[in-house]
Amino acid sequence: MSTSKRSETNSHDNNTDRGKSTRARQPQLAQHKKDEERLAVETEQLSYLLTGLLPAGSEVEDAPLPPSCKDFLDDRCWRRVLELATFDCFENLPEEIESQPEEWRSFIHKQTQSDGLQAAPVPEPFADR
């Protein structure tokens, strides 16, 4: 085989390998994009998490601390829960905490008593947020 035919064959093989490699990575890239979208934080949410200040015009519900939550949340923490509920992804958080006090009590207790090695999973449906 001549040198030019050999280099054409090698070039074709390299391009074929690159195509296979790219196709093999496509599912990984698609999953990575899904993960990025799922983990994306809106600017207003990030600002709130960093500063504790809600965006201008936010209206926070003025709901009292539920009796079922008084042994693991104080009024200040409950107010933060209500503030988080102003964001779409947390709009049901107050109701979920009130309807599942045992799960949230356990989660909060483990978080406050933990040295970081025993961090408890967040109760559903917020575990994947």
pLDDT digits (tens, 9 = 90+) for 71-93: 999 999 999 999 999 998 899 99
Domain membership of residue 90 (yes or no) is yes
- What pLDDT does residue 89 have? 86
Range of the domain at 67: 59-113
CA-to-CA separations, 75 to 4, 39, 63, 72, 97, in angstroms, rounded: 79, 29, 10, 10, 14
**Average per-residue pLDDT for the chain:** 77
- What pLDDT does residue 73 have? 95
Helices marked H in the chain — which ranges?
A: 3-39, 43-51, 75-84, 93-99, 101-113
Domain membership of residue 6 (yes or no) is no
Domain membership of residue 19 (yes or no) is no
Q: What is the DSSP letter of 117?
A: S
Domain membership of residue 104 (yes or no) is yes
Segment 4-27 shows an average pLDDT of: 57
What is the number of domains present in the chain?
1
Q: Is the pLDDT of residue 63 over 90?
A: yes
Domain membership of residue 54 (yes or no) is no
Segment 91-118 shows an average pLDDT of: 84
pTM check: above 0.75: no
Domain membership of residue 10 (yes or no) is no
